[in-house]
Amino acid sequence: MCGIAGVLSLDGEETTVETLIKMAALLHHRGPEVVGIYRQHPMAIAHARLSIIDLAGGLQPLFNEDKSIALICNGEIFNHVELREWLVARGHTFRTGSDCEAIIHLYEERGLDGITEMNGQWAFALWDNRARRLVLSRSRMGVRPLFYTLAGGKLSFASEIKALLACPKVERKPSKETLNQVFTYWSPLPGRTMFEGITEVPPGHTLSIYEGETNPVVQPYWDVTFPEASESYAANKSLTETDQTKFAAGLRELLEDAVKLRLLRADVPVGTYLSGGLDSSIITALAQRYATGALETFSVSFTDNQFDERHYQELVSKHLGTAHHVVECTQGDIGKALPEVIWHTEVPLTRTAPVPLFLLSGLVNQHRMKVVLTGEGADEILGGYDTFKEAMIRRFWARQPESKYRPQLLSRVHGYVKGLNTAGLNAMQVGFYKRGLTNTDDPYYSHRLRWDNTSKVKNLFSADFQAALKGYDAAMEQELSHWITPNLSRYHPLSQAQYIEIKTFLSTYLLSSQGDRMGMAHSVEGRFPFLDSRVVEYCNALPPSLKLHGLTEKYLLRKIAHDLLPEEILQRTKQPFRAPIRAVFSSPEATDYVQELLDPRQLTATGVFDPAAVARLWNKSQRELMPLGEVDQMALVGVISYQLWQRQFCETFDTHLQQALARPMEVVYLHD
């Protein structure tokens, strides 16, 4: 795991070492050990290393036999052992024990088609000096980030946007369209960033550009697919107990192998995150079977009982015999850490959930661990989210829209929310869920309600900002459709919802703001067995009833875990990872910066939000006896986090850069 950065000169001007040093300095948290630099005009690259495989010999850039190909990679190739055997048999010579060296020889052997042979989580840059071609690639599910920009006669790329902002002539201009997306989908659409002119390589895509060209070619090599509904229904209707057992055995075998690869293919100790939910508990149980000694497990607990899951975490840890570590989060802890979290997410948030995960990776770092396995991805591929249940119930209700009884099924979905009447929905709640009820032909039916609800946050935009965005909502939906398969309407309704969740939320938020960025902020690599492409493809092809069985989510996953976990964990319903919001911004640790950011003069200067509307929201949040609904809480996080983002990246970025450059950094020059 590392940070990568580089510049391809398109105008003939050489990239200076100073620029590479600045870029690497801003990625120090991703690779704190050593920076490798390589320059051979028109290419210049830098690699900040966090050593996990081949600790002594894996310094990057890596080269082929005659050094005509140079590679820097952020991530891991888990099937590198098998690839190495095949490539050696084909006559290739390996210079190191690094897993990433397999990428170079695959490219020599099969060109860009070699990428499809890799099982891993990667973002790499490869320079082919003979062909004078730069290739950027991102793994199938988008676990690791990779950004690029065309500015000042250069194509610059990096693992994080902040490194690009250190390049000459790269502007720090906020994208109002992307902010509009964040306040609709909770995160940017694929490829988008909060900066105009800076783009992210989408998951499952490669970028290729030759010297002398001015426009890169970005192409997919893999995409998420599901069977057509007719096939799904046929499988649904013919399922027997024998069929279920067969499907369960197939999932268990693939998942177990995915865990083994991610646990054993590392030259450093590997631990796990343990939330107390089904997903992380299964991963931990499988990992414990192959760990040498007691497995190290790490959890977040909260002083606020509404969010705390420590009972379940301790239950699993005791059952499995792990060496367990816990970081307890107060509202003040979250308030204190939020500014640093925004520096790492590089995008405003509408929830505080990333902050405890930032604190959790700090705990892992304190225990001198570099790698953890996590349960992310199970909800997307095995039907775990409440969104999926809501859509299923609403479709059932839509067949009899005037029914008084069908909507009451929705009261069983959010039982974990404090104060919710689980005996039945009141008239206001029924009215909320009834919006767009019969529009079941809408390809975004499963998510439209959530998106429309989140969009209410945009009522806080200033008149000028709203005017600047006028008409963009329609264009935004066209942009969304670019990333959605035309076959969506042919999928089973559950598959439609899964596809949309994966495309609009998994890599853009969950694996970014709650995943890679929070782990790498403390030099901790997350590995995700559920997102092994073999597991993903297998689960996508499963009959929908093996995922969402009635209102039982992740049905097949529960079947394979009976010999692994306590019954109390197996019977738990999904509880989304949530964190306090309202009390966070009233804590002493946050009061000073919140009051400063929400000062009407500061809001007016930023120009995005209406100071009077924000003042009303803030005053409402301070009246403890007044309920603060989900939209208001999202709005509060959104306004404060955007104001923090604006300050850090548009106003005080040069200060952050100087602080990064002041940090000691070992630099090794290769083939310069």
CA torsion 652-656-661-664 (nearest 10°) is 160
Active site residue 100: no
Measured CA to CA, the distance from residue 480 to residue 298 in angstroms comes to 37
Q: Which of 2, 167, 329, 539 is catalytic?
A: 2
CA nearest to 92, candidates 113, 110, 106: 106
- Give the phi and the psi of residue 628 in degrees, each rounded to 5: -120, 105
127: left (phi over 0), alpha (psi -120 to 50) or beta: beta
Measured CA to CA, the distance from residue 154 to residue 127 in angstroms comes to 15
Integer-rounded Cα radius of gyration of the chain: 25
All residues at 6 or more sequence positions from 401 whose CB lies less than 8 Å from its CB, including other chains: 434, 437, 438
Measured CA to CA, the distance from residue 143 to residue 123 in angstroms comes to 8
* 104 close to 64: Cβ distance less than 8 angstroms: yes
> Cβ–Cβ contacts within 10 Å for residue 26, how many?
27
Measured CA to CA, the distance from residue 124 to residue 121 in angstroms comes to 10
All residues at 6 or more sequence positions from 147 whose CB lies less than 8 Å from its CB, including other chains: 157, 158, 159, 160, 161, 164, 193, 198, 199, 200, 201
* 127 close to 134: Cβ distance less than 8 angstroms: yes
Measured CA to CA, the distance from residue 378 to residue 478 in angstroms comes to 29
Measured CA to CA, the distance from residue 635 to residue 459 in angstroms comes to 9
The string over 311-334, giving b where at least 16 C-beta atoms fall within 10 Å of a residue's C-beta and e elsewhere, is ebbbbbbebbebebbbbebbbbbb
Tokens 């990433």, residue?
Answer: 100
Element (H, E) at 406: none
Torsion sign (Cα): 50, 323, 535, 544: negative
The residues annotated with a catalytic role in the active site are 2
